[in-house]
Amino acid sequence: MRKVSLWLMIMLCGSLIWAQSEGSDEIGDDFYPGIGNGGYDVQHYDLDLEVDLSRGSINAVAQIGIIATQDLSAFNLDFNGFTIESVRIDGVEVDYRRAQAELTLIPNELIESEQTFEVTIAYQGIPPNSQNPTFAEGWVQYRRGIYVASEPAGARNWYPVNDHPLDKATYTIKITVPEPYVAASNGLLVDTQDHENDTRSYVWENFEPTASYLVTVQIAEFEMQSYYTEDGLLIRNFFPVDIAEDAEITFSQTDEMIAYFETVFGPYPFEVYGAVVVNTSLSFALETQTLSMFGRDIVVEQSGRRTGNQGIIAHELTHQWFGNSISPATWRDIWLNEGFATYGELLWVEHTLGVSDRDEMISNWYASLNTPDFIQSPIAAPGLPPGNEIYNLFNASVYLRGALTLHALRLNVGDAAFFRILRTYAARYAYGNATTEDFIQVAQEISGMNLQSFFQGWLYEKKLPPIPQMGL
Ligand code: TRP
Ligand code: ZN
């Protein structure tokens, strides 16, 4: 009797420990419950994608190199749609469950904390449609090709992933497409392979840690143009063949822009840069890492913005430092991406057109925010974006008020301290993540000023603060 209950106790305890070592099904982002996962750290994704453009489907194998950060009896990846053919851990088939975008893997034996292991998932099917009503999130097929734009959480719509910028990883992406399509992705093209059935594989290697929303696949009839900047940085652009000449002109200031931004932000953080022009018009651009994407309209139409298209080009380039090298620790910190990238537009105007053009833009933006019917939103405060709606994450305040915050900071601390703040912040958090508090900390440290009430007003309160130095 006594023996039995002892055994029972041991078994109960054992199963309790087993049950308690499931990795969390979310990473703890208060804007996005359910996003990301806990209990492990992805090191590398190796994606092998065969693309069937006539069916609109992909046939894929994802190999994911992971380190456990706790004992794992089970853990989750974010993954939406598709038919899963097999799930293996270190080559051995394992059980799994699926519920909406959560894929739970159940290893045959407990994975111990700090253990390295490899997950291999074979899957196929037509990528699911984006659930986001404002932007496409994920894999999108259009008439003349395919693009992937995943910010903030659409990577799960095309591969199994820890879908949060806190878990960055490196990538190898092999894309097989029928001729005459060309497949581009982040990083460097390290290999191409021709196959007998008139398909070609493109193997892309992305060596720097990358947030999942910044990973892209671009398929169209592209012309690739590449060159080295004076400083020896490789630039490779992908343009639709029929507008390649005009696109070359549109993007001809890229090397100048990089050289200028290096003087204000510090060294360009990656080993390659370029633009891909999607062969359809888009109402947005995205700073996909090392290969910013733009719609066809950037070449064939002038945008309505004051700076023309160079403003958007400067914006996506600035994101390579702010957003890509340093990514937000939570989605609430999104102004650290968009406010900075929008400030990059102002800096480019200042550099090319002068201070008075810059100040005119600032005054216009200030006026557009400073109207009674504009829904003022504190850009870094807790709580959901305006209208209590997560899809308003990319609202105008995050962009414009974010940029004005930086300009107001510059006017308060002076140019020398301001640019030292930007460079220190860019260097200190390179290839990682930062919070709004981290930035405030750097600003105070470098300026030697107490900036608590300054940032309180600009970032956490509804009312738009004045910019007295500009009479605003
Ligand atoms: N970050 C983009 C920009 O440069 C905007 C954006 C947000 C986006 N989510 C997106 C673009 C999804 C494409 C797809 O401002
Ligand atoms: Zn942006």
Residue 420 phi/psi, 5° resolution? Answer: -70, -35
Fold matches, 23-212 and 221-320: no
Q: Is 61 helix (H, G, I), strand (E, B) or coil?
A: strand
Atom from ligand 1 closest to the CA of residue 337: 1
pLDDT score recorded for residue 380: 79
Out of 320, 394, 395, 398, give the residue to mutate to test ligand 1, the one with the largest number of ligand atoms within 8 Å of its CB.
394
Distance 198 CA to ligand 2 centre (A): 38
Q: For 207-227, write each residue's pLDDT tens digit.
A: 999 999 999 999 999 999 999
Instruction: Take residue 314 and report the two structure tokens written for it.
Output: 């400067």
Ligand nearest to the CA of 339: 2
Domain residue spans of the chain: 23-212, 221-320, 329-470
Q: For 260-302, write each residue's pLDDT tens digit.
A: 999 999 999 999 999 999 999 998 999 999 999 999 999 977 6
Going by alpha carbons, the residue nearest to atom 10 of ligand 1 is 151
Distance 311 CA to ligand 2 centre (A): 11
pLDDT score recorded for residue 373: 67
In whole angstroms, how far apart are CA 191 and each of 200, 277, 442?
10, 22, 42
Q: For 35-51, write each residue's pLDDT tens digit.
A: 999 999 999 999 999 99
Distance 288 CA to ligand 1 centre (A): 9
Q: Say how far residue 224 (Cα) sits from the centre of its chain.
A: 23
Instruction: Take residue 224 and report the two structure tokens written for it.
Output: 């690739």
Atom from ligand 1 closest to the CA of residue 316: 4
Q: Does CATH number 3.40.640.10 belong to domain 329-470?
A: no
Ligand nearest to the CA of 295: 1
CATH of domain 23-212: 2.60.40.1730
pLDDT score recorded for residue 306: 44
| Residue 152: cis peptide before it, omega within 30 degrees of 0 | yes
Distance 286 CA to ligand 1 centre (A): 5
| Closest C-alpha to 300, from 242, 340, 339 | 242
Q: Model's pTM, two decimal places?
A: 0.94
Q: How far apart are CA 417 and CA 424, in angstroms?
A: 10
Going by alpha carbons, the residue nearest to atom 12 of ligand 1 is 151
Q: How far apart are CA 304 and CA 334, in angstroms?
A: 24
Q: How far apart are the first and last CA of the chain?
A: 83
Amino acid found at 397: S
Binding site membership of 151 for ligand 1 (Cβ less than 6 Å): yes
Ligand nearest to the CA of 395: 1
Going by alpha carbons, the residue nearest to atom 9 of ligand 1 is 151
Q: For 53-88, write each residue's pLDDT tens digit.
A: 999 999 999 999 999 999 999 999 999 999 999 999
Q: Tell me how many degrees the CA angle 229-232-238 measures, rounded to the nearest 5.
A: 55
Contacts 24+ apart (CB under 8 A), 133-140: 133/391, 134/391, 134/392, 134/394, 135/284, 135/394, 138/80, 139/58, 139/217
CATH of domain 221-320: 1.10.390.10
DSSP state of 11: H
Q: Are 405 and 398 in contact (CB under 8 A)?
A: no
Name the least confident of 4-18, 80-94, 162-176, 257-271.
4-18
